[in-house]
Amino acid sequence: QFNVSDYANTLKIDKEQGFIYILDPVKNQIEQYDLQGNKQQTFADSTMKNNGNYKFYFLINLVVDENSDVLILAVPYRIGTDGYKIYDDGFCIINQSSNGEYLQEFDYTKNNTVNYPGNLVYLSALTYKDNILYLSDGSGLKKINTENGVVNNFVLKIQNPISFDLNYIHISDMAIDNDNNIWFVGRYFWDADSLDNWRVGVHMTRFDLNCKNQ
């Protein structure tokens, strides 16, 4: 047992290299530990050590691939004259080796690549399998080829709505099984009509690999 940041909400393990990655969205940084809980380095922060295409990034999620490279989902931002952060539409995928070396970046900010661009900072799930990165904002799914950056887009065909928005489900995390079915798990305040009596809704939802059958 060891202590990490108070607001850490993402943990990924690289068993091959013996590293644990912890993402703290409040500090906006990723820490790297060994399996005994000893901190190795601040693996990434808002500046990405000034290696990225943009000056600042908000770090959202990460995965570790079979080569022990770390793929980071991030949204670029700039600081406005009032001091507040202004987020770009779209997102970036930044690839770093396990020693923190910057490898490459896929930039998806030049077109409207998300259905809820303003909410991607809060509403996104990320997973990885066989050179494909899976990203969802609750209304669609993106399959990103990590070798060339090519994106295939799918719309979630929601047959049984579990949200007050019939074309959207709240997603906290997702996974891909051996048959390439896509599993979502989510939680959210779903009683939208009563601000004084919000209730938490929880679900686990499975789609086929093309997101057509729920």
Q: If we measure between CA atoms, which residue out of 156, 162, 157, 158 comes closest to residue 200?
A: 162
Q: Would the pTM of this model clear 0.85, i.e. be above it?
A: yes
- pLDDT at 116 exceeding the cut of 60: no
- Residue 110 is predicted with a pLDDT of 73
Q: How many other C-beta atoms lie within 10 A of the C-beta of residue 52?
A: 20
pLDDT band (50, 70, 90) for residue 117: very low
How many Å apart are CA 46 and CA 27, to the nearest integer?
9
Per-residue pLDDT tens over the stretch 20-66: 999 999 999 999 999 999 999 999 999 999 999 999 999 999 999 99
DSSP string, 44-73: E-TTGGGTSSSSEEEEEEEEE-TTS-EEEE
Task: For residue range 151-208, list pLDDT tens digits in order.
Answer: 999 999 988 776 667 777 878 889 999 999 999 998 765 555 655 555 556 789 999 9
Neighbours of 47 (CB within 10 A): 14
How much is the pLDDT for 171?
84
Closest alpha carbon to 167 in 183, 179, 155: 155
**Among candidate residues 80, 68, 89, 70, the one with its CA nearest the CA of residue 30:** 70
The helix (run of H) or strand (run of E) holding residue 153 is strand 151-155
| Alpha-carbon gap, residue 149 to 74, rounded angstroms | 15
- Asked if 62 and 50 count as a contact pair (C-beta separation under 8 A), the reply is no
CA angle 48, 118, 57 (to 5 degrees): 5
